[in-house]
Amino acid sequence: MSRYLAYSDPSVHRAHVARIEKEAPKARLPVVLVGPEKEFKTYLTNGDYRGGSRVCCGGRFVTGQLWPNSISTIVMTVGPGFCYFKFLLPRVLEPDELYFGSFLGGSQTVLAAVILLCFMLASFTNPGIVPRSAAIPQELVPNYLDMQGNPLSRFLRINNVTVKQKFCLTCRIFRPPRSKHCSYCDNCVLRFDHHCTWLGNCIGLHNYRYFVVLIYCATIFLIECIYVAFRILHNLSLDIYGPGVDTFEWFCTLGEEPTLVGFLMYCMVLVVAVLLLSIYHTVIVLQNLTTNEHVRNYYKENPFDFGPPRNCWQIYCHPERVLAEGDDRLQADYGPHPSVSDDESVYEELAA
């Protein structure tokens, strides 16, 4: 979003303090509906794009590693899911209870639809590709170049915390706050969270919400699948051994349904993975951190953390904001900021 790009303005330095706008950036509909803002759309559609993804629909959608990443994930989820709805779920529900005739059938149908939708959106939505510059900005020449002719890193003052802002030599820009250059997709991505191998796409500003809904819904769906599988096995053990079935006889029943047991193990492995992901992303959202920031331990003091309620409000409802509250005040310098000590350990890296 354009407010993020303002933090990358190479002409800003300590002598020039810019309060970008006191009023918050206007809320926008999802990029899949209205497309990216003008600066981003121009770069993505006018033949200037140089990244590793394929862009379509005016910059709304991108495709990364379709094969084997996205396609193999689709096969491994849609195939078992179809068999589950066709052969397993009907064994615990009456014909009139399937789909929307019961809570179990209705919830499974809704969750499956949401999972498919969010999978497609997370996999193919433009995550927030940052426009590249054709050359090193002239504002940096020659005073702010190192011995090799590359621009120096600079320091931003965000919410009273000094953070280090690196210059991306591939995109020839100062990376916007919380951005990172993805080596898989060859793009700088706004609010980069991680590159998801299973989806074949980066998870960033525009598709993070879809990713979170995907893992939350997948967790609930898989728990219900496990419940259905155990219920089928329980009913089968009652049919074979009667009401007095014991634990040994119940385990003997597993040999009668090897395919069901395989499906059950498959679901149990998946539910552990997505449950842990769900817990992890809940924790970092409450702290207003990305996976990239948390894993690399970027901040000793997180300038973007305004408390769990405001953090959730920003991430899920107003991702166009750089800060959850307050004005966007841009202050940059190429040396130690006067408000902090000269000890380099006080500086937090803004992007790797």
Which of 118, 171, 182, 196 is labelled catalytic?
196
Neighbouring-strand partners of residue 240: none
Note if 196 is an active site residue.
yes
| Strands 173-174, 187-189: pairing kind | unpaired
CA distance 28 to 293: 26
Neighbouring-strand partners of residue 196: 201
Neighbouring-strand partners of residue 173: 168
CA distance 191 to 177: 7
CA distance 316 to 210: 10
Tokens coding 92 = 């615990």
Residue with tokens 């014909």: 95
Do 148 and 154 meet the contact criterion of CB atoms below 8 Å apart? no
Q: Which of 165, 158, 168, 163 has its CA nearest to residue 137?
A: 168
Angstrom CA distances, 81 to 66, 109, 110, 222, 225, stand at 20, 11, 13, 10, 10
> Which residues fall within 8 angstroms of residue 100, CB to CB, at 6 or more apart?
106, 109
CA distance 91 to 74: 25
Do 40 and 59 meet the contact criterion of CB atoms below 8 Å apart? yes
The set of catalytic residues is: 196
